[in-house]
Every structure is written in structure tokens, then in C-alpha cells.
Structure 1
Amino acid sequence: MTRVTRREFVKATMMLAAGAGVPGRGLLRATAHGMSAATEPEGEWRNKQSEMRYRKLGRTGFMISEIVCGGDPISPTNNRHVELAIDLGLNYLDTAPAYGDGQSEMGYSAVIEGAKRDRVFLNTKVSPFVRSHVEAYRNIFSGLSREEQARILREASEVLERRRVTLPNYLGYYYTGQFQQAEQSAIAEVMERKYAEKIERRETYVDTIIRSIEASLKRLQTDHVDLMMCPHGAASPAEVRIPEIYEAFETLRRQGKVRFLGVSAHTDPASVLKAAMDTGVYSVAMVAYNVVNRAYLEPVIEEAHRKSFGVIAMKAAQAVFEADRSAKPIPERAALLNHSIPGDMGLHAKAYRFALNNPHISAVISNMVNDQQVKENLPVVHARASVA
């Protein structure tokens, strides 16, 4: 029997995902979400309220509130404001096991218990995935010769330059260590070309995903999530082309534990979004999109809209402030936002309005921590759109 190399397997997988050589849609496209742009479903509604505006999340058909709830500040002791947001029409909750080491998911569990689960679309992420991926290659890297290490580092640097990740307005600098994460992912991407078969792939990828989702479901006290984002914080387009992601997703989908596959990306969001679209398996991406990086993102976001691929904007407000959730604005970025969205609204509200002014965005995420922020942020959906 002829041995099929992993490179050949990946190529065949991607061809199937794209429908190459297959009549109609590709195999993975059909099994992942059962539809293409040509068969986009009618909208699926939850918790529709007159106080809120809604947009369709691509081919998922989910009619989601234009403001969605970020999970980073949520915990068992800080979650009651989410109920107010839901009463005002918000219907999409975002979370991840990395948020408070599971505290966010546990905080949401009280909000969605019982019949209240059906009021919202629920998304969680596979937070351990990138770490597992990068560490697998780091372990191989440490045993290589200095010459080989130097070659890999040189090629990784070229990758980052080519994709413009070194440009401050594209990178964004949303948190400490962001560029270092981009470097690690680029190193893994370069090594994947030569050393992929040296990794224990099922343990590194499939088992990591399934364990993460099953643990998340326990913390959330629900039997399924509507959307699984993997990777959580992809920093390279290569990270959405790993076929074991599709295998794990399909297993979980058939078990009724997840419905659709998505990805989130702070770093190199344009490349990650484009790569996710091209797989034919992903249906949604949550990407950093704001007044600072708009030139890099908007052509790809427009393409996503044409292909009925859902896009949620994140880091809309953080881009205007110093890193690590600082409350200190960056003067030139604040001025840029004020020029784009004139008027008396605060910077956070203007940032959300900027994102929503793009008709190809499905929603913008907001990390709200109390009732006051809910009352301030949700009315942004009714604010007059700027033409700047």
C-alpha cells in the first residue's frame, strides 16, 4: 500500500474543503455546516426586543444583537448585569476557559440556566489550542542544530514582515506579549513544513480540543454551544489550516455539542480571516477591527460578506487606548476616532459605532462590567451612523 504523507493529506483535505474536483460543495463544507452562500438559511431568532438591532451572522443564520457580550470580566460574582443586557435584547454571549481560568464560563452558567439558555447564542473558545500547538514545535526546536534554528528564525521573521505583522497600526499592541505570540506562531508555521510528522497530532490537537469543549460544557452547565472558536487567538493563518481541527469539530458536531466552527484573531486578523474563509469549514471569525487597522481589514471583511461568512468585530475600543485594558487614550488614535465619529459620545461608544457603520460586520463585542456600562453601550446601536 502506498503511504500517504501528511503533506498530501493536508492538500487533499483542503481540496475537499474547497470543493475541488467534487461535484457541488466540498465534503468538509457539507459536513461542517451543511450549506454554502447559495443555501444560506433564513434567520434564526432568539430574544428579539424592540430596543435592539440585529444582523445575520453569515451562513449560521443566527440573528445576533449588534452589541454582543464579551466574557472576559464575567464571573460567578459579576454576572447580573448580563441579565439586564439580555432583557434589553442582547442575545449573544462570548466566553472562553482562559477568561478567569474558567470563571467566565461558570459566571454565565447562572445566567443561562434552565429555559434561559434558549434566549441566547452561546460561544466558547478552545483556549489551550495555540499553546499546545506552539509547545509541540518548541520542544522539537530545542533539539535542532544552531544552523537549523537560525534558518527557522530567519524564515519566521520573513513571514511576519511579508504579512505586515511588524507594522504597529496592523498589530495593534492590544496586550503585553502580543508580538512575541506572533513570533512563536510564525516559528511553528515554518516548522510545520518540515517537522509536522514528528508531532503526536491526535494528542496535540484533537484530544486538546475535545477535552477543552467538554470541560467548558461542564462549567457552563449546558449540553451544547452554538459556536466553537478554535483557535482562540490565532496568530497565523496556518493555525486554521490544521486538519485535526476539522476532525475534532466534526466529532463534536455529530455528538450535538457544537453547531458551528469559528476562530478569533487579535494578531494578523486579515490573514487569519482570509484563511478561515478559504477552508470552507469555518463559518465565523471574531477579529480585531477598528479605526486604526481598517485599511488592512476592510477588503477581506467585504469578501467575507460576499461569501456569507460571519464577522464579529473585537478590539474596536481597545485600539484607541494603551495596552492591557488601560483607560489612558493614545492621543493620535483618539483624534482619528473623533474625526471618524464626530459628536458627544465617549470614545468607547464611538469605537463601537465605528465598527457598526460597516454593513459587512455582524456585531461588535463589548466587555461590560456593570449595569451602567450596559445602559451606556447598548444604545449605541441606535446612534446616528457617521459617514466619515
Structure 2
Amino acid sequence: MEYTALGRTGLRVSRLGLGGAPLAGDFGPTDEREVEKMIHEAIDGGINLIDTAPRYGRGESERRIGRALRGGKRNQVILASKAVGPDESFGYEGTIRSVEQSLKRLETDWIDLLQIHDAEQAPFEMIVGETLPALERLREDGKIRFIGISTRVLQLLMQFVNLDRFDTIQFYARYMLIDHTAKDELLPLTLEKGIGVINGSVLGLGLLADTPAPFMNRAIVEEAASRIEQLRFLRKREPYGLVEPAMRFSLTQPAIHVTLTGAATSEVLRTNMAYCDGKGLEPEELARVYALFQGKKLFKE
């Protein structure tokens, strides 16, 4: 497992992090005992960042993670969650309440990184005037250590980064083989500011694993299929689609500190951990990928 510093936080994080959405069955049925076993295997394999949210399984992801971290394992991980919950507002009190409930589900006194979830869902002014101050209060109280923000909207992320009040950002499907637009302006800005970067959904919600999510817009699936066809030169194993090159593409990007794996089974987890050996795409392959889709977003804002 490779490790790096998460921006200016001082946290030493594994390049591969465990994403919490599949742990609650959001992408298909999961067995709770298998999930606990997989979390333990991830920790034993060197993964030290676990990312979850109250919206994942309406709190079930946090509950399962909390149970799996009993017996001293909580101190072995950097725990990241989000606010707000599925029934909460982005207002000051709603944010406080959301985090307090997360602490109970996670069975912990503190959360290392608390991120504002899908920031595009609330007005910029509300997040700056209410959500963020609530998290800053919780940080003063010792209930959270660092503050982050997540959204797929790159320009919005840049606005928040420029406030100099966030420690990390998280986006998804913005630095992957078929849409790498985060590298154009956002990643240079985070490097300049010393912001930690977490990358989610490097498989494009299943597109690069040849298993697109059933809720995916048909036009996006068709456009993705066209782009994937242009990446045939990266297909070296079957039936894994483009999973390996997609993972390596993100894991070896210096400006990305943590790449999340959405594994729901130990088998998938072990496969993805095997890619954490520091080997990326060949230089000519990387240049070709960049040239193919330069500036071309797959998902609209």
C-alpha cells in the first residue's frame, strides 16, 4: 500500500480508501457479516481511510462501519463522513444534528474528516453562512478534526477552495479515463492551496466496468460507450473491462491523495488493493488518454 499526506492536514493516508456507499447495499444486496470481514481485511491490508455518509443506506453504512471498528480498530483508521443527512437541511441546527447522529451511528467521539455532502444541493450563501460555521463550531468542540466539501460541480468546488476555509475536497467521475476535466483547473488550484483531494467513482458509476448503473441516463451511456471504444488500447484483461487502467489512472495522479474503492466484497477489495503498487499507465498511454477527451465533460453540471 502506498501512502501520502492529505494536503495540509498532516494526516498520512493510504492512496486507496474504502468507500462506504456499497457497504449498505445502495448498489445491490450486501451481507453484513461479509461487510465487516471486508472492512477488517481492508485495514489489515493497509487501507487507513474509510469514507461514508448518513445518506448511504439512510445511516446503515455508518452503523455497519461503527460496529466493524469496535475492539480498538477505530484508532487504526481515518474516519471520514458527511453532512447533512437525508432528512436534514443545510442550516446551522440541521448540520449540528446530522453530525451528532453520525457520531452515534459510528460509535465514536470524533470524526476525523467531516465533509459537506453534494454542496450543489444548497445555495452557496447558506453553506457559507450556516453549514460551514456549524462544522467550525463542531471542530472547536473537538467532535471533528478537519472540514471538507464534496460536489461533482467543478466550478463550485473552485469557489469553495478559494475561501481558504476547507481542508479537503471530494468529487466523483471528474478524474477518470473518459472525463478527466478536474485536472484542467481544479487540481492545479488544490495543489497551490494545499488542499487534500479525494476522488470517487473512478469507474464512472460502473461504466468502465462494463456494468453501468441502471439509473444512468441513456444518452450518457451511449456517449460513454463511444469513448470507451476509443480506449480499446487499454484493454489487456477480460472480463474486467477497464477497471485496472481506471484505478491506476487515479492512484498515480500526484494531485489526488485518496482514490476510493466502492468494493462490496472482499474479492473486489483484494483486486483493487493489488493496483496500489505505484504503477500507472505507460507515458504514451497517459498522453493518448489526455488527448482523446481534453476538456470534454461526460456528465453535465
Output the TM-score relative to the length of structure 2: 0.79
Q: Is contact 1:313–1:364 with CA below 8 Å preserved after alignment?
A: yes
Q: Structure 1: where are the runs of 5+ without partners? A: 1-51, 134-204
Q: Distance in 1 between matches of 2:107 and 2:157?
A: 31
Partner of 2:196: 310
1:364 matches 2:259: yes
Partner of 1:353: 248
> Aligned AA for 1:344?
R
The structure with more radius of gyration: 1
1:291-332 CA-partner distances (Å, limit 9, x unpaired) = 222135432112201221011111210256134587x99432
Q: Distance in 2 between matches of 1:239 and 1:319?
A: 30
Name the SS for the 1:286 alignment partner.
strand
After TM superposition, give the deviation of residue 83 of structure 1 in Å: 0.7
1:100 matches 2:49: no
Q: Distance in 1 between matches of 2:40 and 2:49?
A: 12
How do residues 196-275 of structure 1 correspond to structure 2 at under 5 angstroms?
205-230=91-116, 232-235=117-120, 238=124, 242-266=128-152, 268=153, 270-275=154-159
1:127 to 84, 88, 101: 84
Partner of 1:67: 16
Structure 1 pair 241–103 and aligned structure 2 pair: CA distance change class (3 A): closer
Q: Distance in 2 between matches of 1:79 and 1:239?
A: 39
1:287 matches 2:171: yes
Q: Is contact 1:337–1:351 with CA below 8 Å preserved after alignment?
A: no
> Aligned AA for 1:234?
A
Partner of 2:237: 344
Q: Is contact 1:68–1:90 with CA below 8 Å preserved after alignment?
A: yes
Q: Is contact 2:88–2:95 with CA below 8 Å preserved after alignment?
A: no
Q: Is contact 1:79–1:108 with CA below 8 Å preserved after alignment?
A: yes
Q: Is contact 1:67–1:381 with CA below 8 Å preserved after alignment?
A: yes
Structure 1 pair 314–325 and aligned structure 2 pair: CA distance change class (3 A): farther
Name the SS for the 1:79 alignment partner.
helix
> Aligned AA for 1:369?
A
Q: Distance in 1 between matches of 2:215 and 2:200?
A: 13
Q: Structure 2: where are the runs of 5+ without partners? A: 25-31, 287-301
Q: Distance in 2 between matches of 1:325 and 1:104?
A: 21
Partner of 2:37: 80
Output the TM-score relative to the length of structure 1: 0.62
After TM superposition, give the deviation of residue 362 of structure 1 in Å: 0.4
1:207-266 CA-partner distances (Å, limit 9, x unpaired) = 011000000000110001000011x11227826852212321121112111011101113
Q: Distance in 1 between matches of 2:112 and 2:79?
A: 5
> Aligned AA for 2:17?
V
Number of corresponding residues:
261
1:276 to 140, 144, 160: 160
Name the SS for the 2:170 alignment partner.
strand
